[in-house]
Structure 1
Amino acid sequence: MKIENSTEGDVMIKGQSIRGIARLIAEAKGANHVMFVAQLTAIPVARQKEIGINFLKNDGDSILASAIGKVSSFNVSGKEIKRKDLPLIKKLIPQYRTWKDWHGKEHDGIQHRTMDVYPIEFISPPSEKLSLKNIDGMIYVASRQMDLLSNPEPIAHLANLFLEYFGEFEVFDISKHKISGVSTRQLQWEVLPKGKYPWSKASSIVTPFLTKLSQSEKGVIEHRMREISKYEPDFLATGRGGYSGYFVYGFTSRNLYFLESIHLNNATYVFGSDWEKLSSLSKEEIINGEYEHSRVIHDKKWVAKIRQLLRA
C-alpha cells in the first residue's frame, strides 16, 4: 500500500490491497469521520461499464457494483466456507437432462441427485454500495461515511474494494469538504417496457446471462425461468451491477413479483408491490427481517409451489 497526500491535504491511497487500517488512521492525522472517494473523470469508461457505475448519472445515485475480483465477489455474493471438520450431509443437486422412454420418445426435465457433501458455512456479503457525490463542486464515486475509530474490518474491506475497482482512492475528511445532502437513489434495476413476457420473449433477455454456465446448469435455470414465464407476466425488470443475472417477473394485477436468478443455490423470493426495496436487501435481511414475502426453495416441490401461487 502506498499513501500520499493530495493537493487538498487529504490522504491518497494507492496499491493492490491493505491488510489493516492502523497506518491509514495515522496518516489521516486525527480525521476520524471520513469517506473514500475516486474522481469520476479519472475512472476509465471501460471500467465504469464493467462494474456498472455507468448507470450513475445524478448526484445521489447509488448501486451495488459488479464483481470483478476476490474482494468485490465477496461484497456482492458473500463467501461459502466448506466445513471439512464436520460430518458429510445429504444434499439434493438439481440436474437438467434428456432421456428416452421405452417407445423412443425423448423427454427432458429436472432430476435431483442425492450427494454426500460437507456442510457449508455462509458469510453474508457486506453489500457496500457506491454512490455519485457532488463534493466541493466536483463529481466523485464515493463510499458511505464512516468513523475510522469504529470496527476496522468493514473499513478495510471498503478500502480494498476501492483499490480493486480503481487502483487508488482518496480519504476525505468530511469536516473539510462541502458534501451535497441529496438523498440516495438506488439504481439496481432496469424496468423493461410494459407488456406480456412469455418465455418466447423473455428468453432473449435471459439467455445472454447464461453463457458461462454449464449445459446442465443452463438447463436448470431456463427451466425455472420458463415455468414462471408460462403464466405470462406483464412486468420484467433486470438487475444491474451486482444484481446482474437477477430478474423480477411481475404479475401486476395480482401484486406478485418473483425474484429469480441465474444462481443455482438461490431460492425464489415472492414480493408484493414493494419488491424493489426488498429485492435490494441481503438474503439475511429478508429472511430474518419482518418483511412480507414468500421464499420458495428450489427442491422437488418447487414447480408445484410456483403453480399454486400463480393459479390461486
Structure 2
Amino acid sequence: MKRILKLERHLPAFAEGELVRAVVSMEGRSVNMLKRFGFVDPFDVGQSVLPSVHLGPAARRNAYGYAIVHRDQPMEEVIRQHSWKRMEWRGRDKVEVENVIDHKYRRYPRTYVAGEGVEFTIMVGHDGTKVIASPSYHPVEAAESLLMAANLLVEGFGAVEFLREDLMPQLNVPIKRLNWDIFPQGRVPWSQVREIIDRVTERAPASVKPVIRSRVKAIERYVPDFVAIGRAGFDGYWVFGFTKQGLYVLESRMLDNATYVLDADWEAVSRLTKAEIINSDLSVARLIHDGSWPIKLEEVLRCVLP
C-alpha cells in the first residue's frame, strides 16, 4: 500500500458518534524506521512527534501545508529575497561584495493552507503491546484529518489500521514532545547554534543561504537567552527566546514563510502545532520576509534591549 485515496474504502464500520484512531503496531518495526519517523530510542510510551518531513509528500503536506494557485485570477507582483554578489572598486583594489536584494516577479495569486499538523504518540494497545497512534477523530466530521493520519502511517511504515478510541487505554505517562532540541537557558552557545543552522540550511539554494544567515544574525544582535532547533516535522524551524519578556521568535529556512513573534512561555509555545502557531492568539507579530523585515523586527524587539 502506497497511499489511501478514499478513506471509506479502508474504514471499518464504526458505531455512530464513535471516535477513531489511525494506528500501527510497533511489533517488527526496525529502529531505523522508527527514528526516520521522528521517534527517539528507547521509544518510551508517551513520546509524541510530528512526523519527519523527510518521509515523503504526505509528511511535507502535513507539516508545511500547501498552496492553492488561482490561475483564474490576474497575476500579482510578489517579492522574494536572495543574495547578489558583485565586484566593487575600493581604492586600487577590486573586491567582491554581497548584498541581500528584493527580487520582484509576477505570479498567479495563491492561498496558503496550513498543514493538518497531525502528531503521533507511542501508546499501549489493548493487548499490551506498543502502538503508534494518531489523535482520535470523528470519521465523518474530521475525515480529512483521519485520512492524513492514515497516509502518514502508510508513508512511514507501509501499513495502517483503524481502531475505536476505547480500545486504546488512557495515556498515564507524561507526553514527551520531540519536536524541538533545546539549548540550556542562559548564555547561548552561538558557535554551536550557527553550526546547526548551517547544516539545516545546507539543502537551501545557494542564493538563499546568505539571506537566512543574515536573518539569524539580525535576531542574534538582540541577545536571546534561549534557542530551540526544530526536528522531525519541525525540521527547518528554529526559535529564539527572550524569556524575561516572554517573547519567542519563530524563524524558518522557507523563504515564503514569515517570522512569527509569540507572546507566551516556552511550555505553551512547545505544545503548539504549526497550524496553531500561525493562527494562535499567542502570535503578537507576523513579519513578512521582505526589505522592511529588519525594521519591523526592531520595532517588535526594541523592548528587549537594555
C-alpha distance in structure 2 between counterparts of 1:65 and 1:287, whole Å: 19
75-84 or 142-151, which deviates more: 142-151
Q: How does 1:237-252 map to 2 (within 5 A)?
A: 237-252=228-243
Match of 1:148 among 130, 139, 155: 139
- Percent identical across equivalent pairs? 31
Q: Which residue is 1:81 aligned to?
A: 68
| Paired residue type of 1:220 | V
Structure 1 alignment gaps of length 5 or more: 1-14
**Could you list the per-position Cα deviations for residues 87-138 of structure 1 after superposition, in whole angstroms to 9, with x for gaps in the alignment?**
1111111011222334334332210011111111222211111011122322
C-alpha distance in structure 2 between counterparts of 1:294 and 1:233, whole Å: 17
Q: Is 1:131 aligned to 2:121, yes or no?
A: yes
C-alpha distance in structure 1 between counterparts of 2:212 and 2:25, whole Å: 39
Q: Which residue is 2:98 aligned to?
A: 108
Q: Is 1:229 aligned to 2:220, yes or no?
A: yes
Q: Which residue is 2:154 aligned to?
A: 163
Structure 1 residue 64: deviation in Å?
Answer: 0.8
**Could you list the per-position Cα deviations for residues 225-277 of structure 1 after superposition, in whole angstroms to 9, with x for gaps in the alignment?**
12112333221111121111211112333433211111111111122342453
Structure 1 residue 86: deviation in Å?
Answer: 1.4
C-alpha distance in structure 2 between counterparts of 1:307 and 1:176, whole Å: 52
Residues 149 and 252 of structure 1: CA distance in aligned 2, closer, same or farther (over 3 Å): closer
TM-score normalised by structure 2 residue count: 0.86
Q: How does 1:150-299 map to 2 (within 5 A)?
A: 150-176=141-167, 178-182=169-173, 184-197=175-188, 199-278=190-269, 281=272, 285-299=276-290
CA contact (8 A) 1:188 1:280 kept: no
Q: Which residue is 1:12 aligned to?
A: none
Q: Secondary structure at the match of 2:200?
A: helix
CA contact (8 A) 2:80 2:256 kept: no
C-alpha distance in structure 2 between counterparts of 1:33 and 1:257, whole Å: 35
C-alpha distance in structure 1 between counterparts of 2:8 and 2:59, whole Å: 22
C-alpha distance in structure 1 between counterparts of 2:140 and 2:76, whole Å: 42
| Paired residue type of 1:79 | Y
| Paired residue type of 2:205 | S
Q: In the comparison of the two structures, how many residue pairs are matched?
A: 297
| Paired residue type of 2:200 | F
CA contact (8 A) 2:118 2:148 kept: no
C-alpha distance in structure 1 between counterparts of 2:150 and 2:274, whole Å: 24
C-alpha distance in structure 2 between counterparts of 1:279 and 1:119, whole Å: 32
CA contact (8 A) 2:51 2:152 kept: no
34-43 or 177-186, which deviates more: 177-186
Residues 247 and 177 of structure 1: CA distance in aligned 2, closer, same or farther (over 3 Å): closer
Q: Secondary structure at the match of 1:95?
A: strand
C-alpha distance in structure 2 between counterparts of 1:33 and 1:79, whole Å: 27
C-alpha distance in structure 2 between counterparts of 1:311 and 1:177, whole Å: 49
Q: Secondary structure at the match of 1:209?
A: helix
211-220 or 93-102, which deviates more: 93-102
C-alpha distance in structure 2 between counterparts of 1:238 and 1:289, whole Å: 20
| Paired residue type of 2:99 | G
Residues 126 and 19 of structure 1: CA distance in aligned 2, closer, same or farther (over 3 Å): same
TM-score normalised by structure 1 residue count: 0.84
CA contact (8 A) 1:37 1:140 kept: yes
Q: Which residue is 1:66 aligned to?
A: 52
Residues 255 and 109 of structure 1: CA distance in aligned 2, closer, same or farther (over 3 Å): farther
Q: Secondary structure at the match of 1:101?
A: strand
CA contact (8 A) 1:197 1:229 kept: no
Q: Which residue is 2:10 aligned to?
A: 24
Q: Is 1:91 aligned to 2:81, yes or no?
A: no
Structure 1 residue 183: deviation in Å?
Answer: 5.6
Q: Which residue is 1:5 aligned to?
A: none
Structure 1 residue 61: deviation in Å?
Answer: 2.7
| Paired residue type of 1:238 | I
CA contact (8 A) 2:63 2:274 kept: no
Structure 1 residue 199: deviation in Å?
Answer: 4.8
C-alpha distance in structure 2 between counterparts of 1:279 and 1:57, whole Å: 20
**Could you list the per-position Cα deviations for residues 71-100 of structure 1 after superposition, in whole angstroms to 9, with x for gaps in the alignment?**
111111111132222111111110112223
Aligned-CA RMSD value: 2.6
